[in-house]
A = this chain, B = another copy of it.
Amino acid sequence: MSDRVLSMNLATTRGAWGFAEAVDGCLRHGISAISPWRDQVEAIGLREAVRIVETNRLRVTGLCRGGMFPADSQAGRQKSLDDNRRAVDEAAALHADCLVLVVGGLPRPSKDIAEARKMVADGIAAMLPHARASGVPLAIEPLHPMYAADRACVNTLDQALDLCEKLGEGVGVAIDVYHVWWDPRLKEAVARAGRLNLILAHHICDWLVPTRDLLLDRGMMGDGVIDLRAIRGMIETAGYFGPQEVEIFSRDDWWKRPGDEVVKTVVERFNSFC
């Protein structure tokens, strides 16, 4: 167990801390791997964020996030591509293991999810040469089907893997237990991801019962129903032993607590439940 790596996704401490405070807090608790969000990097400035990462020899397990490809106009899709190219540059500057892609949902007022999915494939294909040239792997994150309309129309691991196979080198997947734990085909899909050598990230948190908000009510590991060890077993069996990145959006609970309490709890739960 001692060689397992815990990475802190800085969404988890968003309620208490910005980028610099979160890094200090993580280091106080022995965590030297992080995954920041772009707004957090922007708030402190990319140059200063890079300085903090380099000075502290932090591992950046991912940058959150690129994506949001579908749009109702060519201009909108071009704007998204420009932003995604900047995201690649930021990920490269931060030495991030990958740029996480939340691909986007239906462009209003469309009801055509097949067309949205095509826009996603086209968008990733268009940014891929720049990502490859920059040495930044793109991690497609399949999101839970409850986000299909407004956040991501890639909703199963198998669907993400189909997309990876179509796009070729430079694209893989981020497996977040929150999004995939329910999938009756999970074991087979994780094995397939391993065979294809496409696992770029492993995110953890928990599914609460009841879940009071579709977006901002994720649970701390151990407080919900996800069998985290079983899923870690699938992922390790598939050949991936990389960091487990803790990503918890929790507006009414963890985001209201002091940052040190959050990080301390994450470390405890990581050691007992993950």
- How many identical chains are in the complex? 2
Question: B159 contacts A111, CB within 8 Å?
Answer: no
Interface 0/1 of A146-162, CB less than 8 Å to B: 10111001011001000
Please, how many angstroms separate the alpha-carbon atoms of A233 and B96 in the complex? Answer: 45
Q: Are A182 and B113 neighbours in the complex by a CB distance under 8 Å?
A: yes
Beta-carbon nearest neighbor of A153 in chain B: B182
- A contact face: mostly helix, strand, loop, or mixed: loop
User: A45 at interface (Cβ–Cβ under 8 A)?
Assistant: no
A184 partner, pick from B146, B155, B209, B225, beta carbons under 8 A: B155
- Rounded to whole Å, the gap between the CB of A13 and the closest CB of chain B is 25
> Smallest CB–CB gap between A214 and chain B, Å?
6
Residues of B within 8 A of A146 (CB): 144-146, 211, 214
Contact assessment for A211 and B209 in the assembled complex, using a CB-CB cutoff below 8 Å: no
Residues in A lying within 8 Å of B, measured CB to CB:
106, 108, 110-113, 117, 144-146, 148-150, 153, 155-156, 159, 181-184, 207, 209-211, 214, 224-227, 230
29 contacts between A and B (CB under 8 A): A106-B209, A108-B209, A111-B225, A111-B226, A111-B227, A111-B230, A112-B227, A113-B181, A113-B182, A117-B184, A144-B146, A145-B145, A145-B146, A145-B182, A146-B146, A146-B211, A149-B207, A149-B209, A149-B224, A150-B209, A150-B210, A153-B182, A155-B182, A155-B183, A156-B184, A159-B184, A210-B214, A211-B214, A214-B214
